[in-house]
Structure 1
Amino acid sequence: MLVGSPRAVVQATLGAAKVAWNLVDVTQHKGSHPRMGALDVCPFVPVRDATVADCVACSREFGRRLAEDLGVPVFLYGFASDRDYRKIMLPIRAGEFEGLDEKVTPIIRV
């Protein structure tokens, strides 16, 4: 868990995601938990005076920067998604990592 200002939390989370990108090879992953990539889920949860809207803004900023910096697909879910079919994880995870090519288009929308 990271706690701090929205900007600091997004920056730290982005740094951690970049480390995972460099160290984790999901093509070698074996297990039973459905997954989409080295960083499967990255929730931003309100604590203290933060609001859900603050967390949505963090999620969208983090997703935009992750997609731009690493060129990876980002699927927002829950309150951060503007698409009804992405409000829950199950449809996003369908097909898992191996089925990702079918979900990604040349234009990545975050």
Structure 2
Amino acid sequence: ESNPESWVDAFNASIHFDKNLIDQDIQGSIAHATMLAEQNIIKTEESNQIIQGLKDIQTDYYNGNLELSESLEDIHLNIEHALIQKIGQVGGKLHTGRSRNDQVATDMHLY
């Protein structure tokens, strides 16, 4: 007997499809982190940490060292989770001033 909660999670998860957008999501996130620093919303050092963390995550992905989780639903949450794991809470600042809808629109435009 299957668990309804796990079925709903699997149904809602888009990671199987949008993992193909990892390069676009990281590219958009690097641009966003750069803008946050240029507008003095976050410190330049924080932006640099975020950017390096994103580049490391991209390398990890292509080296097979990044496990994408269905429970995190999509590529955006997987990257955000990996970034916070890699660089700490400063990684959470990447989401400042940007909605998931903004991320999806940017990713699709870049794709």
TM norm. shorter chain > 0.5: no
Normalising by the residue count of structure 2, what TM-score does the alignment of the two structures yield?
A: 0.29
The answer to which structure, 1 or 2, has the higher relative contact order (CA under 8 A, 6+ apart) is 2
